[in-house]
Structure 1
Amino acid sequence: MSHQPPDGEPRAEAAGIAAERLRHGFDGEAVLEDVTVTVKPGETLAVIGPSGTGKTTLLRLLSLFYRPDGGTVRIDGTDVWSLSKRERLEARRRVGMVFQEANLFDASVRRNASYGLRVRRDWRGRLSAWLARLNGGGKAAKVTDKLEIVGLEDDAGRDAASLSGGEAQRVAFARALAYDPDFLLLDEPTSDLDPRNTAVIEEAIGAARSRGIGVAIATHDMHQAERIADRVAVMLGGRLIEVGPTDQVFSDPTDPRARKFIEGELVY
C-alpha cells in the first residue's frame, strides 16, 4: 500500500533538493519512514519537532552524508545515488551544511572560512580561481564577502581560538557559504547562542535566501521558524506529519498531532 506524503505530493518537485519517500535507520532501528519534502531554490524550510525525531538524520541524508536505506535523494530531479562517484561528488559540492557545533581549526578566521574553497574545488574551479587572482579577485574576495554577511569581516585575522561560541558559529556559516552552494542545510545552528548571535545568523539566512540559495533549518525554536521560514515541516516519530506555508502550519495545521505539538502539548 502506498502512502502519500503529508503535503499531498506523491513525488518530490523537480527544482530543488528533495527527499522522496526516504527511509533510514541505525542498528536495525528505523529513524525515518516515508519522508517526502523539497527544499526549493530561494526559500527557507524549517523542520521542527521534538528531539530525537529524525531532523538531523534528514539533513544528513539530504547532504549526502548517508546513503538512504530506501527512497531517493534528488537534486533538480536527478537521483544522486544513481550517479557515478565523480558525478555524485559534483552534486555534493552544491550542498553546504552547518552543524550545531562549529568545529573550527586552530587557524585564523579567514583560513577557517576559506576551508571549503580549498577542498571542494574541481580543476575548473582551480582554473577559475587562478584567473580571478590575475584580475585581483578570487578566493580572498569571496571569503571577505561571506565574512561580511556574518559581520566578521574585521576579524578575519583573529585566531579562531579567541572567538566566542556565537562568533565561531558565524565563521562556520561563512565557511559553508564561501563556495557558493545552491543549498544550505543548518542543524540547530543557534541552539546555544545568545540573542545577538542568533539575530546575526538569522540575518545571514535571509541573505543566503535572497541570493537564491535554498535553505533548510532543523530547529527546536518554533518562534525562530515563524520568523524566518517560508514553509514549515513538522516531524514526529520519523515522519513528516505536516508540511505547508508557515502561517498556515502555525495558525491552522491540518494534523491534530501537529496542532498539539505547536500548542505545547506532549504528543510523543
Structure 2
Amino acid sequence: MTADDIRYAYGDEPLFSAASLSVAPGEVLTVVGPSGAGKTTLLGLLGLFRPPDAGTVRWEGRDVWGRSDEERLAIRRRIGTVFQEPALFNESVARNVGYGLRVRSSWRDRLRDAAARAIGRTDPSDRVREALETVGLAEKADRNALSLSGGEAQRVAFARALAVEPDVLLLDEPTSNLDPRNTAVLEAVVAEAREAGLGVVVATHDMHQAERISDRVAVLLDGTVIETGPPEQVFDDPDDPRTRKFVTGELLY
C-alpha cells in the first residue's frame, strides 16, 4: 500500500500538504509526530474511510479511488484497523471477535465457508479461536466483553482485526495507557503479524515503542512526512534537522 502526495483539509484548514509513505508486506512502519499532526487522519485515509482531497492511495500499484465501489470494498476487506479506544459490544468475547467475519461475509463467502466445513477445512469459528489464542484470551471466549479490563479489551480488538485475515493492519495508538504486560502482549502480536507477511502501520506518540517494533519510522510534521528510515537512523542520525529537534524535545507544539 502506498500514499503519494496526499492532501487533506478539514474545511478551510489544511492538515496534509503533500504526505507520502508506503508499507510493504512483512514490514512494520510506525508513524510518529506530535499530537494534532494528523496521524489518526492519515490512518483513516490509508484505511479508505475517506478519500484524500488530492494525491493517490495505491493498492498493488493502482489508484484505489479510481476503481469501482465493488473493487474498493473488496480492498477495504483486506485491511484490518484497530482504534485507540476499542468499541466492544455487549456480547461474548468470541462474538465480538467474529463480528468482522459476519459483516464482511457475502452469500458467496457463506457458501465457500460451508463448503470448507464439509471437507474439513478451517471455518470462521476456527479463525475466531486462533485469533483469541494469538492475543492470549482463548480461555475468556465466553466472557462478556464489557467485563474485561482495558488491556484485555484492546487485545479483543486486535483479535477481531486478525480474524478477518487482512493483508494490511492499521493500528492507532494501540497501547496508549496500557500496562507493561498488555503492551508486551500486543507488541508480540505485531511481531507475529509481520512474520505472517502482513504490512503493519502503527501510529504512535511513543518513540521508545517505535524503536522496539519498527522496520521503518515515518516522521509526520508540518503537514507532510519529512523523513522515513530505519529507527536507528531516524532517532540517532536524522537527515532533517526538524526530526532531530522533535525526537530530542526541542521542537515544541
Q: Does 1:97 align with 2:81?
A: yes
State yes or no: 1:42 paired with 2:22. Answer: no
The separation in 2 between residues aligned to 1:136 and 1:69, in whole angstroms, is: 44
Structural RMSD (CA):
1.1
Task: Give the residue type in structure 1 aligned to 2:39.
Answer: K
Is 1:216–2:201 an aligned residue pair? yes
Matches within 5 A, 1:117-266: 117-134=101-118, 135=120, 137-266=122-251
Deviations 1:92-134 (A, max 9, x none): 1111110000010000000000111111123442222112222
Which of 76, 80, 91 is the equivalent residue of 2:64? 80
| Aligned residue among 116, 120, 143 for 2:100 | 116
Deviations 1:31-87 (A, max 9, x none): 111111101111000000100001111100000001110001111111110111111
| 1:40 match: secondary structure | coil
Secondary structure of the corresponding residue to residue 21 of structure 2: strand
Show structure 1 runs of 5+ residues with no match: 1-16
Q: TM-score, normalised by structure 2?
A: 0.97
Find the counterpart in structure 1 of residue 13 from structure 2. 29
Contact 1:257 1:267 in 2 (8 A): no
**What is the rounded CA distance, in whole Å, between the counterparts of 1:33 and 1:114 in structure 2?**
38
- How far apart are residue 137 of structure 1 and its match? 3.3
Equivalents in 2 of 1:188, 1:143: separation in Å?
Answer: 24
One-letter amino acid matched to 1:87: E
Q: Structure 1 residues 216 and 151 mapped into 2: Cα distance closer, same or farther (>3 Å)?
A: same
Moved more, 135-144 or 40-49: 135-144
* 1:261 Cα deviation from its structure 2 partner: 0.8
Instruction: Supply the distance in 2 between the matched residues of 1:64 and 1:139 (Cα, whole angstroms).
Output: 25
SS in 2 for 1:220: coil
Deviation of 1:199 (Å): 0.6
Write the distance in 1 (CA, Å) between the matches of 2:18 and 2:184.
Answer: 34
Using the alignment, how far apart are the partners of 2:135 and 2:34 within structure 1?
28
Q: Percent identity?
A: 60
Q: SS in structure 1 opposite 2:50? A: coil
Tell me if the contact between 2:93 and 2:140 (Cα under 8 Å) persists in the aligned partners.
yes
Query: How far apart are residue 136 of structure 1 and its match?
Result: 6.3
The gaps in structure 2 that reach 5 residues or longer are none
Aligned length: 252
**Residues 20, 224 of structure 2: 8 Å contact kept:** no
Distance 2:248 2:37 in 1: 18
Tell me the CA shift for residue 267 of structure 1. 4.1
Q: Structure 2: how far apart are the matches of 1:133 and 1:25?
A: 47
Per the normalisation by structure 1, the TM-score is 0.92
The residue number in structure 2 matching 1:13 is: none
